[in-house]
Structures are given as structure tokens and as C-alpha cells.
Structure 1
Amino acid sequence: MSSTEKNKAHAEQAKGKLKETVGRAVGNERMTAEGRMDQAKGKARHAKEDIKDSFRS
């Protein structure tokens, strides 16, 4: 996995986790859902890169 894509995936997951936590703390369901969505995007990006890496080997 390219380090750039790996970093983007981790940053997106961290951003999502923070958003979800803040959303729960203030009682904002929309922000909580957006945080979960950002985490899912980061996990999907990471999975995509893993698949690409498996074909390179």
C-alpha cells in the first residue's frame, strides 16, 4: 500500500472517530452518523489498497 493512501485512510478513520465522539457528547445524531460514515470510508480505502497490493505481489 502506498504510504500516501495509507495515511489518508488512517486520517479519515481518525476524523470519523472524533466526529462520532463529539456528536455523541453533544447529542447530535447527524454528526454521529457522519463520523461513522467517515470511518467506513477510511476502512473502504484501506481495503481497496490491500486488494491492490495483493495483485502486485
Structure 2
Amino acid sequence: MGLDDKIKNAAQDVAGKAKEATGKTTDNERLEAEGHKDQTAANVKQAGENVKDAFK
């Protein structure tokens, strides 16, 4: 995958962190969990990118 995908993954991670922080601040457990889920998804995608890069 290219740089574009890595940027999208990083953006998803940052957005997830923002959602999680907002959820904590407002005591919104759903938003906090959604932010955590977004971060996890971004990390999984990034790990896949790293594996692909290792085999190039």
C-alpha cells in the first residue's frame, strides 16, 4: 500500500483519539468506545501495511 493509505490510517487513529477524549470529557461511554474502536481498526490496518512492506 502506498503513502495515501498510511495517511488515511493515521487520520483514522487521530479521529479515534479525539472521539475517545470527547467521550471521556462528556461522560459519553458510547462515543468513548467508538473512538477506541476507530483507533483499534487503524492500528490493525497499519500492522497489515507493515507486513506488506516487510515482504517488498
Aligned equivalents of 1:47, 1:5: Cα separation in 2: 12
Q: TM-score, normalised on structure 1?
A: 0.93
Per the alignment, residue 51 of structure 1 pairs with 51
Letter in 1 for 2:52: K
Aligned equivalents of 2:13, 2:43: Cα separation in 1: 7
Structure 1 segments of 4+ aligned residues over 2 angstroms from their partners? none
Task: Say whether residues 1:42 and 2:42 are aligned partners.
Answer: yes
Structure 2 alignment gaps of length 5 or more: none
Structure 1 alignment gaps of length 5 or more: none
State the 1:2 CA deviation. Answer: 1.4
Aligned equivalents of 1:22, 1:12: Cα separation in 2: 15
The number of residue pairs the alignment matches comes to 56
Per the alignment, residue 2 of structure 2 pairs with 2
Aligned equivalents of 1:17, 1:23: Cα separation in 2: 10
Identity %: 39
Q: TM-score, normalised on structure 2?
A: 0.95
Look up the SS of the partner of 1:27 in the other structure: coil
**Structural RMSD (CA):** 0.8
